């Protein structure tokens, strides 16, 4: 694991090592000791203890997001694309000078990597291929009463997707301008 770019305070892009042989490939997606060493002293970096893991599959041009959980069930997320490719998007919802700042990065199964997403940062993505498989590890379990979102199209971000496929739930989220941050 190579903890590379910091996209937003506490949000890190991590390059993963891929080992290939005649059988296929092998990628380690989490190591507690490497993760703890990488975030030590990092502004916004928080210890991570896995509470839940889940995955989603998406067709090309599906946009999911922008999702997060509010306190006291807010969480740190580790996300990666296990198959296909996505354009992953983050928006900082933490009060302060970085509020509303957007960052994006391509996550591609062919070049294994993951994102560390701190509490107070909303997450979403656009699937760039059919059957993209996204895996999420979170530090708290899903709490429907604390699960929220902001509209994907209310950000200062060009999704470059003329005909996105979006759930009714994601279309109903409030725009960023109307969101009152608890972070």
The pair of three-digit structure tokens given for residue 118, joined into one six-digit string: 């701190």
Least confident of 9-23, 85-99, 109-123, 156-170: 9-23
Tell me the average pLDDT across 104-131. 96
pLDDT tens, residue by residue, 141-162: 999 999 999 999 999 999 999 9
Q: What single-letter DSSP state applies at residue 24?
A: E
Q: Is the Cβ–Cβ distance between 53 and 136 less than 8 Å?
A: yes
Pick the closest to residue 103 from 116, 115, 89 (CA basis): 89
Tell me the average pLDDT across 96-117. 96
Q: Enumerate the active-site residues.
A: 67, 136
Least confident of 48-52, 75-79, 94-98, 104-108: 48-52
Burial of 150 (0-12, 13-18, 19+ CB in 10 A): buried
What are the structural domain ranges in the chain? 2-178
Domain 2-178 homologous superfamily, CATH: Jelly Rolls (2.60.120.10)
């Amino acid at each position: 694991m190579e903890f590379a770019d910091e996209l937003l305070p506490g949000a890190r892009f991590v390059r993963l090592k891929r080992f290939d042989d005649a059988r296929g490939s092998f990628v380690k997606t989490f190591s507690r000791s490497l993760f703890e060493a990488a975030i030590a002293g990092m502004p916004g970096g928080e210890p991570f203890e896995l509470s839940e893991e889940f995955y989603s599959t998406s067709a090309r041009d599906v946009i999911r997001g922008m999702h997060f959980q509010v306190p006291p069930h807010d969480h740190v997320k580790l996300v990666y694309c296990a198959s296909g490719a996505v354009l992953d998007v983050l928006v900082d919802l933490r009060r302060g000078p970085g509020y509303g700042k957007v960052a994006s990065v391509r996550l591609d199964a062919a070049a294994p990597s993951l994102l560390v997403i701190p509490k107070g940062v909303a997450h979403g993505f656009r699937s760039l291929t059919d059957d993209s498989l996204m895996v999420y590890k979170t530090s708290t379990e899903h709490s429907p009463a604390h699960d929220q979102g902001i509209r994907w199209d209310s950000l200062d971000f060009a999704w470059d997707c003329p005909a996105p496929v979006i759930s009714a739930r994601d279309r109903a989220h409030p725009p960023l301008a109307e969101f009152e941050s608890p972070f």
